[in-house]
Amino acid sequence: MMDTLFYIYGIVVLAASLLFFLITITNIIWLEHTLTSDRKKSGPSVAVLIPARNEAQRIKPCLDSLLRQDYAPYQIYVIDDNSTDETWNILKEYMLRYPRKLKAFKAEPLPVGWYGKPHALQELSHHVEEDYLLCTDADTTHKPDSIGKAVAAAKKYEADLVTGYVHHLMPSFAEASVEPSIYILTMFGLPLYLIPFTRSRALSHAIGQFMCFKREFFEKIGGYEEVRHQATEDVKMARVVKKYGGKIAFIDLKDTVECRMYSNYHESIQGIAKNAFDYLGKNFIFLLLGTFAVPLIFFIPVLTWILPLPWLSTAHSFLKASTIIAFYTWLLETIDRRLPWYIPFIYPLILVNTLSALWRGFSLMNREGGIEWKGRKVK
């Protein structure tokens, strides 16, 4: 009886690995296809919106890159979200140097019921009149065709929201052992190529580092009002777009935008804890199921290459094959996203860190009432 159960277990794990491999391949094909979009040099006006809280170390490269855009017409709007460092002084300096291209504002104190980033973007949106709103982060740097690609993709896919994966920089092993978890969703469960062609909110996704809205549609849905109290406001915003019948184009931006999200292991874990646990809806049952499923699908198969595990003899061949498939899945993702070369060899560690971050998020929510992020508590 047990031999039969282990045999079935092996088949299930192998089937899951093959499914993840297939989803990854099809997503890579889709993303490569989106790279073929033309870049426009001119067209409808674009407002670039940048929320900045304590970004004195990062804001200059971001602004410098956006000031070198080869698209016209566009305007840059930045809001200092109650920073305690030199962010505002830097913004004032840039306003003096580029008075026709850049406008900066100081945010009002954060209202009750709002998180910082959605509130900052909502405030900025009240100052613009352009046809498109490109929301981006202060820790990004843009190639000269960044805006042109966004507008071209919006036209090509007739999209109300253009978003996608930027090139995420992970120069240290500490960052690389955590941050590739941001790709787990689209490797293991979400076909990106279906996002523009279905109204299902479940088939939606967005990356806050690059979200380009049609202004008319943005105003129709009330801007960030419905996601004012969401840590993963980008993903939730994509669902709001679908809710109101909007169309999303999820494209590849690795040749267009770069971002180093975190600078060390603690920041990486804290950031993933804030976002990933919220993405699960802060649902303990989902967290528990994931904690049991990940070892069964990924960790035990790896152990069959290291330990004899005679009690799994009927499943050995399936589990070993699933490990090979998992390795090549991560290898393809590594090549496509230009991740550090060693990622396929440490994917079990990435999954361990992801689970650790999720449990940290759960613990901090229950023990301290939220997760500390940039001097504010995210509940």
pLDDT tens digits for range 127-175: 999 999 999 999 999 999 999 999 999 999 999 999 999 999 999 999 9
Question: Shortest CA distance to 85 belongs to which of 51, 55, 116, 117?
Answer: 55
The pLDDT score that the predictor gives to residue 333 is 97
Helices (H), the chain: 2-34, 59-66, 87-97, 116-125, 146-156, 173-176, 184-188, 215-220, 233-243, 265-279, 284-294, 300-303, 316-337, 347-367
Expressed in angstroms, the distance from the first to the final Cα of the chain is 47
The pTM of the full predicted model, rounded to 2 decimals, is 0.93
| 175, amino acid identity | E
Residue 238 has pLDDT above 70, yes or no: yes
The pLDDT score that the predictor gives to residue 311 is 78
Query: For 17-65, how does the pLDDT look when each residue is reduced to its tens digit (9 = 90+)?
Result: 999 999 999 999 999 999 877 888 899 999 999 999 999 999 999 999 9
Question: Shortest CA distance to 43 belongs to which of 76, 75, 73?
Answer: 73
- Mean pLDDT on 266-270: 90
The pLDDT score that the predictor gives to residue 299 is 94
Residue 2 has pLDDT above 80, yes or no: no
Q: What phi and psi, each to the nearest 5 degrees, are found at residue 94? A: -70, -35
Domains of the chain: 2-28+267-378 (no CATH), 31-262 (3.90.550.10)
Tokens of 364: 């901090």
Residue 1 has pLDDT above 70, yes or no: no
The pLDDT score that the predictor gives to residue 244 is 96
Percent of the chain with pLDDT over 90: 76
